Amino acid sequence: MSLNRKFEWHSIHTIPKTLIQRALTVAAITLNTTQVALSRQLKLLEAALGVTLINRDHKTVSLTPAGIYLAK
């Protein structure tokens, strides 16, 4: 996947929504977007910041310490 696009900073609110929902698909539905679009935005944000924000497991997600800090 190419990360040549820039992160859309208005999407930063997706971080806490993702943690609350514990699943990207459910968070995407809540945010009226697709799981693919949400995942892409999160990866772009991680690339822009140079840190991992979300631990991705098969069906659940959790915030890393950096993700917790950003969500505050």
Output the pLDDT for position 50: 92
Mean pLDDT in the chain?
Answer: 76
- The answer for 32, left when phi > 0, alpha when psi is -120 to 50, beta otherwise, is left
**Which domains are present in the chain?**
10-71 (1.10.10.10)
User: In Å, how far from its chain's centre is CA 55?
Assistant: 10
User: The whole model's pTM is what?
Assistant: 0.70
Alpha-carbon distance values, 21 to 5, 15, 38, 48, 70 (Å) = 26, 10, 13, 24, 17
Higher pLDDT residue, 60 or 51? 51
Structure tokens given for 5: 């696009």
| Residue 32 to residue 34: CA distance in whole angstroms | 7
